Amino acid sequence: MFAERLERARKAAGLSMSALASEVGLSANAIKKYEHGTTMPSSSNLLKLAKALDVRSEYFFRPTKVKLEGVEYRKRASTPKKVLDRINGDVLDQAERWQELLELYPDSVKPIPEFALPDELPEQIFSLEQAEDLAIQMRHAWELGLNPIHDMIDTLEAKGVMIITTDVETDKKFDGLAGKIGSTPVVVISTAQSGDRQRFTLAHELGHLVVHGRLAEGIDEEKACNAFAGAFLLPTQSLIEHLGEKRRHIEPRELLMLKHEYGISMLAALFRAGQCGIITPATQKNLFMLFSKNGWRTEEPGKAYPHESTYLHKQLVYRALGEEYIGESKAAELLGMSVSSFRKERKLEVPTQAQLAQEASRAAAAN
Ligand SMILES: [Zn+2]
């Protein structure tokens, strides 16, 4: 157990064996032996390793029971293997803390719902338009109507999708990944991405859960998931209500307003306008060219759409503490915090993540 977890923590920290060795004052060979399970470190070396890898020493002895299966990465360009290793390590660590938390709840209490798709979905879809229709059917089944979805994370969590956010520095090359832990779907998004991009990833991954196994031959799943995501975030009917049925040209400012109302990038909104036949392919192409010329494909103009955050894990840790399923030290461990900083947080002596996020968005709005 120790050997495997040391290797994972090392990769998650982005360190080679020799880099870790020099940080803790051991030989690379010693690290290699630990990772091969041929020797065990002394307790003082164990503490040094934990410190260097920024984990608590309990981490090394937590039984590895979480397996993230069926992983699909969403990435902008080719994400370096080293970065993927770090993300993987971070995600597994968080997923384990999730799993452990859920197991600490008594069987009679179900803190999160089981994910299930509505029964009435069609068995097979034959076109991208039908993938869009599926998005609308999901909205109806989940009673979301056709209005903007203010909180995608909350919406998915309420239906039993586990959302994990990772801070691993990715240079914006990584959008997210999805997989399953047991029967629970898990979606991972990067905190480095803009809010609209995070939301598109969340909707795209929901698309995979919905369309998977329903696509007729020849329909590309990635394209279907993008069509699903676009329609889920910004339904055709809502788009037509805003832009009109047919347009000769669209002002970029209109796209910016759509972005802020529906939490979808200007580029994706423009794409939707073409998809829905509001503008001709030629007009769409001209606008795409305008986006390229102005560098808006890399960074969109105007105020950014705010990031989304997940609070569910923390909420459930506090709930478990409140119900005395766990004590303070376990709560701190589940949150990956030291007991002393957890105590401060518990006594409301430090601002919560929600307050910090609120402050940040207030500051951004003031700029
Ligand atoms: Zn995908």
Tens digits of pLDDT across the chain (367 residues): 789 889 988 988 888 999 999 999 999 999 999 999 999 999 899 999 999 988 888 788 876 677 777 776 665 556 777 888 888 888 888 998 998 899 899 988 989 999 999 998 999 999 999 999 999 999 999 999 999 999 999 999 999 999 999 988 777 677 788 888 888 899 999 998 899 999 999 999 999 999 988 999 999 999 999 999 999 999 999 999 999 999 999 999 999 999 999 999 999 999 999 999 999 999 999 999 999 999 999 999 999 999 999 999 999 999 999 999 999 999 999 998 889 999 999 998 877 777 777 777 777 766 5
Task: Give the model's pLDDT for residue 75.
Answer: 58
Q: Please report whether residue 51 resides in a domain.
A: yes
- Its pTM stands at 0.83
| Ligand 1 mean position, distance from CA 72 (Å) | 7
Which residue, 64, 88, 115, sits at the end of a domain? 64
- How far apart (Å, rounded) are the C-alpha atoms in residues 353 and 330? 20
In the sheet that 69-75 helps form, which strands lie side by side, from edge to edge?
Answer: 69-75, 174-181, 184-190, 162-166
| Ligand 1 mean position, distance from CA 224 (Å) | 9
| Ligand 1 mean position, distance from CA 201 (Å) | 8
Q: Please report whether residue 163 resides in a domain.
A: no
Tally the C-alpha atoms within 13 A of residue 365's C-alpha that lie toward its C-beta: 8
| Ligand 1 mean position, distance from CA 30 (Å) | 41
Which residue, 15, 48, 64, sits at the end of a domain? 64
- How far apart (Å, rounded) are the C-alpha atoms in residues 257 and 270? 12
| Ligand 1 mean position, distance from CA 194 (Å) | 18
**Residue reference for tokens 């601002």:** 351
| Ligand 1 mean position, distance from CA 259 (Å) | 22
| Ligand 1 mean position, distance from CA 223 (Å) | 8
Q: Please report whether residue 2 resides in a domain.
A: yes
| Ligand 1 mean position, distance from CA 203 (Å) | 10
| Ligand 1 mean position, distance from CA 230 (Å) | 13
As a dihedral over the C-alpha atoms of residue 141, residue 147, residue 149, residue 154, rounded to 10 degrees, the angle is -50
| Ligand 1 mean position, distance from CA 289 (Å) | 26
| Ligand 1 mean position, distance from CA 5 (Å) | 29
Amino acid at 60: F
Q: Please report whether residue 93 resides in a domain.
A: no
| Ligand 1 mean position, distance from CA 192 (Å) | 19
| Ligand 1 mean position, distance from CA 78 (Å) | 15
Task: Give the model's pLDDT for residue 315.
Answer: 97
| Ligand 1 mean position, distance from CA 327 (Å) | 40
| Ligand 1 mean position, distance from CA 204 (Å) | 6
Q: Please report whether residue 116 resides in a domain.
A: no
Q: Ligand 1 being an ion, which residues bring their Cβ within 5 A of it? A: 225
- How far apart (Å, rounded) are the C-alpha atoms in residues 183 and 217? 26
Q: Please report whether residue 350 resides in a domain.
A: yes
| Ligand 1 mean position, distance from CA 209 (Å) | 10
CATH number at residue 35: 1.10.260.40
Task: Give the model's pLDDT for residue 198.
Answer: 95
| Ligand 1 mean position, distance from CA 128 (Å) | 14
Tally the C-alpha atoms within 13 A of residue 41's C-alpha that lie toward its C-beta: 25
| Ligand 1 mean position, distance from CA 151 (Å) | 21
Short-list 143, 140, 134, CA closest to 230? 134
| Ligand 1 mean position, distance from CA 170 (Å) | 18
Domains in the chain, number: 2
| Ligand 1 mean position, distance from CA 177 (Å) | 8
Paired residues of 74 in beta bridges: 176
* Local structure of 194: helix, strand or coil: coil
| Ligand 1 mean position, distance from CA 362 (Å) | 33
Task: Give the model's pLDDT for residue 9.
Answer: 86
Q: Please report whether residue 208 resides in a domain.
A: no
Give the domain range for residue 317.
Answer: 312-366
Q: Please report whether residue 52 resides in a domain.
A: yes
Task: Give the model's pLDDT for residue 360.
Answer: 75
Encoding tokens for residue 185? 């779907």
Which residue, 64, 98, 118, sits at the end of a domain? 64
- How far apart (Å, rounded) are the C-alpha atoms in residues 36 and 28? 12
Strands of 32-181 (E only): list them.
69-75, 162-166, 174-181
| Ligand 1 mean position, distance from CA 264 (Å) | 17
| Ligand 1 mean position, distance from CA 85 (Å) | 19
